Amino acid sequence: MRRPVVAGNWKMNPTSLREAIELARTVDAAAPDPDAVTTVICPPAIWLAEVERAVSRVEVGAQTMHFADAGAFTGETSPSMLSGLAGFVILGHSERRQYDGETDEGVGRKVVSAVAHGLRPIAAVGERADERSAGTTAAVVDRQVRAALGGLERLGGTGLVIAYEPVWAIGTGDAATAADAQEVCAQIRAILADLDPAAAPEIPIQYGGSVTADNAAELFAEVDIDGALVGGASLKPEAIAAILRAAAESAARE
């Protein structure tokens, strides 16, 4: 049985350490049994150390990283620097692709580096609105998943998580329907089976993109959706608590 993974991507929030610690402690208190649901919070890098010390039940993740251990990369954070501070790292988020020029090839290099350093990569994939309108969702997702994972010798034992985040749904309030999300997540599962048949059933696939307390249970009821990568709702204590409860209830039905 796959354990659901619910990860809160705080993005460039909150703006003070005090608020970050308060939010982290609130989520920590609301988190389900870690044996049932893996709860992850991903604060800005500047708050990682303090947030990691403030929690006991939840995991901490970074929002990105460089693939190199060290070097002349101004403003970047290496996987070695994340050691002991983060257990997870989001890689290939659409905002990084859009605003920071991340490429499929670059995401693949980061995934390999994360695994090599004992970090669990949350590899994000998803189509833009124009790609969806053009009917190329399947092709885009296939390309991104294979590029992200192509450098790994195997998938089993890597701690890999895939996050399907349709770009048109992120922050818009226009989430994919559960059926549409399931269709793409099933496609991702098939790609994983092509790459590593034995490991494919073990790898959690999250949905992300306007996940709320209202739609979480319906999404989690789908066979290939194993949790969520949550944006705005992860900053709202009541909303993220409800999403975590929905994940725990879904896990209990398995």
Quote the CA–CA distance of 212 and 239 in Å, as a whole number: 7
The helix/strand/coil state of 123 is strand
Is 41:230 a contact under the CB 8 Å cutoff? no
Q: What is the predicted pLDDT for the residue at 190? A: 98
Quote the CA–CA distance of 218 and 156 in Å, as a whole number: 28
Q: Closest Cα partner for 151 from 204, 105, 96?
A: 105
* Sign of the CA dihedral with 123 first, then 129, 130, and 136 last: positive
Residues forming beta bridges with residue 162, ordered by sequence position: 123, 205
Quote the CA–CA distance of 160 and 154 in Å, as a whole number: 10
Per residue in 57-100, pLDDT (tens digit) is 999 999 999 999 999 999 999 999 999 999 999 999 999 999 99
pLDDT, average across residues 197-226: 96
Cα-based torsion angle of the residue sequence 244, 246, 252, 254 in order, rounded to the nearest 10 degrees? -110
Q: What is the predicted pLDDT for the residue at 242? A: 97
Strand 227-230 vs strand 120-125: parallel, antiparallel, or unpaired? unpaired
Is 192:203 a contact under the CB 8 Å cutoff? yes
Quote the CA–CA distance of 86 and 169 in Å, as a whole number: 27
Per residue in 30-52, pLDDT (tens digit) is 999 999 999 999 999 999 999 99
Quote the CA–CA distance of 42 and 149 in Å, as a whole number: 22
Q: What is the predicted pLDDT for the residue at 174? A: 82
The residue behind tokens 């909150």 is 14
Domain locations along the chain: 5-253
| Angle (deg, nearest 10), helices 17-30 and 237-253 | 30
Active-site residues, by number, are: 93, 165
Q: What is the predicted pLDDT for the residue at 253? A: 82
Per residue in 136-191, pLDDT (tens digit) is 999 999 999 999 999 999 999 999 999 999 998 888 888 889 999 999 999 999 99
Is CATH 3.20.20.70 the classification given to domain 5-253?
Answer: yes
